[in-house]
């Protein structure tokens, strides 16, 4: 063990666990992908964000054209890519007597090709917007961009050459990378074409987020987040079956807790392993859930023994947050994510996440005959009883949250998943939720996943399929080739960051339709 002091927090490095994680580094598979078309971006108020790509010519004819100052073109790579761009550039006309100044704008959606990044006014750093300005002193040249990009479209703008020469672009390609192996995915033929498409796009989304670790999004934040990891792992078990990648991520989290033993919400792996200084009540508990799901998918008892102390500590810390009534304290000194929904009170859904994770911890403890299991088994009934007594409103027939007794979708969904009611009661609650449609709704695919799973475990499979088709099917209708970080069918410009330009359009927590379809035989 060693102590690492960072500016805002202190972490304890568990070197043996970190070494085990490093031994589990997975191979990256590489594929060369070439653009399919030259496109034009057209204004269209009928499509999402107001811009669409229109086919102009095959990409194969690009080398027949010569470009000079202020010329530009946009390439479409056919679908979403994650990898490294390269291009060969040769001069035409007189010998080049000045450097080529070239600008590349790289994006996942047509809007990124149309709206100048200079106009971006969100609260996340504009450095996430993908662009390059390149000076080429000697031509011809092969330019290999060192940064990894997440994109479908690339805009080339010749800022300047000189009056004496022009340039020709050839051999433009992407070296796409992923740790996912498509050979491991069992092909499924669905009778329903939309479910088939949803399954395929989910798998593509997951693959593009599988790199050295399970990333939340290859465009942004390109980090290992626990909430995303839990859902990615579930989808992975039904598709790529890369168990070592899940195991590596669990060991990385367990390798850098803080001095209290808390697992960070996310970690950085470069230039060295480092825990972020963000700690979320629900995400820390999802370490338990991810370990639970991993163990029951692999029967890896050695990993369970190694990671049980970390998992148990997350439960201990969560239990310390309970008040005298065994209810999670709702105050300003904590953060539980749950969803990006504006105004959402997190108390009751967090209480449900605790119950959900506590049940999983008990199952794991029994596998190990861990003495701590007795304590967990004693407190679970008390917490469930308190939840029913203090958080259930008999008049409203809903769970309430916070001092204002808020009724939200998230509270009902997570209580269904926590399993404190009978199946019949769950079914009544979830159908009442959809019928009455409380104002505090759902903002992300992350929360929609939990809605669909809550419907399934309540016996409402057909309703679950209907919700999936409406939501992820809506993304497909709006042009998704990988599923997005954010999608609000009622407000398609929604972004919690102040601009849809910075949204991630290939995002881990949106990959779960393939899990839901395959796990529950939808």
Does the pLDDT at position 476 exceed 80?
A: yes
336/334 Cα distance (integer angstroms): 7
Give the model's confidence band at 6: pLDDT under 50 very low, under 70 low, under 90 confident, else very high: low
Closest among 242, 244, 246 to 229, alpha carbons compared: 246
Checking if the pLDDT of 2 tops 90, the result is no
- Model confidence at 9, pLDDT cuts 50, 70, 90, reads confident
pLDDT at 36: 98
Number of C-beta neighbours around residue 343 at 10 A: 9
Answer yes or no: is pLDDT of 5 > 70: no
Q: How far apart are the first and last CA of the chain?
A: 47
Q: What is the pLDDT of residue 27?
A: 87
- Rounded Cα distance between 35 and 174, Å, is 8
Name the residue with tokens 């419907």. 455
pLDDT tens for each residue of 138-159: 999 999 999 999 999 999 999 9
Of 248, 281, 290, residue with least CA distance to 262: 281
C-alpha distances (whole Å) from 74 to each of 104, 157, 501 are 10, 9, 18
pLDDT in tens, 34-92: 999 999 999 999 999 999 999 999 999 999 999 999 999 999 999 999 999 999 999 99
Task: Flag whether pLDDT at 327 surpasses 80.
Answer: yes
Predicted local confidence at residue 7, as pLDDT: 66
pLDDT value at residue 402 = 97
CA distance 399 to 479: 37
Q: What is the mean pLDDT of residues 170-176?
A: 98
Q: Which residues pair with 146 in a beta bridge?
A: none
- Say if CB 140 and CB 90 are below 8 A apart: yes
Higher-confidence residue: 11 or 109?
Answer: 109
Mean pLDDT is lowest, of 1-15, 130-144, 183-197, 493-507, for 1-15
What confidence category does residue 328 fall into, taking pLDDT thresholds of 50, 70 and 90? very high
Give the pLDDT confidence of 437-462 residue by residue, as tens digits: 999 999 999 999 999 999 999 999 99
Say what the pLDDT of residue 333 is: 86
Task: With a cut of 70, say whether residue 205 has pLDDT above it.
Answer: yes
Query: What does the buried/exposed string (b/e) look like for 384-417 if buried means 16 or more CB atoms within 10 Å of the residue's CB?
Result: bebbeeebbeeeeebbbbeeeebbbbbbbbbbbb
Reduced to 3 states, what is the DSSP secondary structure of residue 242?
A: coil
Q: Could you tell me what percent of the chain has a pLDDT over 90?
A: 96
HEC sequence for 363-419: HHHHHHCCCCHHHHHHHHHHHHHHHHHHCEECCCCEECECCCCECEHHHHHHHHHHC
Q: Is the pLDDT of residue 332 over 90?
A: no
pLDDT surpassing 90 at residue 212: yes
Q: pLDDT-based confidence at 251, cuts 50/70/90?
A: very high
| Whole-angstrom distance, CA of residue 166 vs CA of residue 203 | 42
pLDDT over 80 (residue 213): yes
Average pLDDT, whole number, for the chain? 96
Mean pLDDT of 493-515: 96
CB-based contacts of 349: which residues, under 8 Å, 6+ apart? 282, 336, 338, 401, 408, 410, 411, 413, 414, 415
Whole-angstrom distance, CA of residue 172 vs CA of residue 213: 28
- How many alpha carbons fall within 13 Å on the CB side of residue 232? 32
Q: Judging by DSSP bridges, how do beta strands 100-107 and 131-136 pair with one another? A: antiparallel
Of 289, 349, 272, 358, nearest to 318 by C-alpha is 358
Residue 1 in this model has a pLDDT that exceeds 80: no
DSSP annotation of 184 reads G
Span 171-185, average pLDDT = 97
171, 85 contact by CB (below 8 A) = no
């Amino acid at each position: 063990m060693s102590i690492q002091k960072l500016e805002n927090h202190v972490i304890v490095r568990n070197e043996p666990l970190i070494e085990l994680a490093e031994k589990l580094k997975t191979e990256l598979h590489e594929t060369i992908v070439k653009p399919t078309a030259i496109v034009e971006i057209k204004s269209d108020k009928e499509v999402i964000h107001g811009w669409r790509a229109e086919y102009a010519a095959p990409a194969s004819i690009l080398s027949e054209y010569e470009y000079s100052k202020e010329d530009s073109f946009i390439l479409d790579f056919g679908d979403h890519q994650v990898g490294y761009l390269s291009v060969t550039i040769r001069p035409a006309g007189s010998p080049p007597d000045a450097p080529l100044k070239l600008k590349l704008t790289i994006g996942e959606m047509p809007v990124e090709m149309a709206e100048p990044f200079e106009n971006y006014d969100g609260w996340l750093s504009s450095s996430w917007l993908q662009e390059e300005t390149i000076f080429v002193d000697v031509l011809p040249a092969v330019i290999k961009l060192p940064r990894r990009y997440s994109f479908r479209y690339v805009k080339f703008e010749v800022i300047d050459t000189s009056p004496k020469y022009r340039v020709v672009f050839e051999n433009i390609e992407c070296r796409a990378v992923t740790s996912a192996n498509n050979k491991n995915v069992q092909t499924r033929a669905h009778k329903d074409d939309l479910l088939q498409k949803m399954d395929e796009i989910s798998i593509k989304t997951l693959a593009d987020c599988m790199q050295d670790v399970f990333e939340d999004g290859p465009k942004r934040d390109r980090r290992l987040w626990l909430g995303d990891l839990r859902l990615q792992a579930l989808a992975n078990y039904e598709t790529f079956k890369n168990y070592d990648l899940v195991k590596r991520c669990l060991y990385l989290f367990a390798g850098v807790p803080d001095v209290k033993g808390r697992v960070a919400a996310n970690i950085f792996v470069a230039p060295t392993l480092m825990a972020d200084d963000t700690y979320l009540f629900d995400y820390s508990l999802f370490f338990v859930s991810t370990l639970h799901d991993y163990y029951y998918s692999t029967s890896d008892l050695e990993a369970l023994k190694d990671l049980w102390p970390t998992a148990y500590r997350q439960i201990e810390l969560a239990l310390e947050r309970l008040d005298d009534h065994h209810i999670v304290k709702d105050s300003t000194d904590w953060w539980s994510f749950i969803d990006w929904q504006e105004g959402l009170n997190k108390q009751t859904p967090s209480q449900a996440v605790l119950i959900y994770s506590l049940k999983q911890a008990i199952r794991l403890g029994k596998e190990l005959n861990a003495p701590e299991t007795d304590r967990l088994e004693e407190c679970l009934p008390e917490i469930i009883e308190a939840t029913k007594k203090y958080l259930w409103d008999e008049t409203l027939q809903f769970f309430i949250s916070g001092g204002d007794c808020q009724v939200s979708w998230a509270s009902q969904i997570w209580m269904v998943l926590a399993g404190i009611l009978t199946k019949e009661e769950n079914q009544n609650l979830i159908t009442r939720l959809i019928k009455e449609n409380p104002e505090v709704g759902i903002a992300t695919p992350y929360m929609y996943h939990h809605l669909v799973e809550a419907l399934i475990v309540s016996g409402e499979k057909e309703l679950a399929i209907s919700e999936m088709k409406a939501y992820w099917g809506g993304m497909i209708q709006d042009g998704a080739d990988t599923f997005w970080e954010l999608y609000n069918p009622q407000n398609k410009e929604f972004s919690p960051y102040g601009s849809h330009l910075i949204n991630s359009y290939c995002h881990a927590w949106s990959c779960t339709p393939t899990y839901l379809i395959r796990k529950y035989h939808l």
